[in-house]
Amino acid sequence: MHIPFCRSKCHYCAFCSLADAEELYEPYISALCKEIIITGRQFQNASVDTVYFGGGTPSILPIPLLNQLIQTVKDSFKLGSTAEITLEANPGTVHMGELRNMQSQGFNRLSLGVQSFFVGRT
Ligand code: SF4
């Protein structure tokens, strides 16, 4: 599931992604949850083994919105007991406390994107 929000827009990026669009987080997640529910009704008996949140930078979302997303997926689809649930993250947008919360909600895999190996002098 694409989450089209990022801290800034990378110059090489061709994905739909917006920076400084906090006012769109809630309406987008609300619409996405509706789509998840509708799609879940179409695949009621299917078992899901993989759920992937990304690209964009899903970890930029506030924890309550991430929890809303994962709960909607759990309510709408039959997740296998070993289902892999991934959150794509930018290293600068996650902290240990938030990661623990995400894990407790069901995320069990983190995909870290590296935009650059350049380390500027400070
Ligand atoms: S973080 Fe990823 S999705 Fe966001 S602008 Fe950069 S390359 Fe694009």
Interval 11-24: pLDDT, tens:
999 999 999 999 99
Candidate from 7, 9, 59, 61 with most ligand 1 atoms within 8 A of CB, to mutate:
9
Answer whether 76's CB lies under 8 Å from 43's CB. Answer: no
Q: What is the pLDDT of residues 47-104, one digit of tens each?
A: 899 999 998 999 999 999 999 999 999 999 999 889 999 999 887 778 888 889 889 9
Measured between alpha carbons, how far is 95 from 23 in angstroms, rounded to an integer? 22
Answer whether 87's CB lies under 8 Å from 63's CB. Answer: no
Q: How far is the CA of 80 from the centre of ligand 1 (A)?
A: 30
Q: How far is the CA of 4 from the centre of ligand 1 (A)?
A: 9
pLDDT of residue 41: 95
Q: Which CATH architecture has domain 2-117?
A: 3-Layer(aba) Sandwich (3.40)
* Ligand 1 atom closest to 9 (CA): 5
| Domain extents in the chain | 2-117
Measured between alpha carbons, how far is 50 from 65 in angstroms, rounded to an integer? 20
Of 47 and 119, the structure prediction assigns the larger pLDDT to: 47
Candidate from 17, 20, 60 with most ligand 1 atoms within 8 A of CB, to mutate:
17
* Ligand 1 atom closest to 90 (CA): 1
Packing angle, helices 63-76 and 96-105, rounded to 10: 20
Which protein residues touch ligand 1 with a CB less than 6 Å away? 6, 9-10, 13, 15, 17, 55-57, 90, 113, 115
pTM: 0.88
Measured between alpha carbons, how far is 107 from 116 in angstroms, rounded to an integer? 25
pLDDT of 34 strictly over 90: yes
pLDDT of residue 122: 60
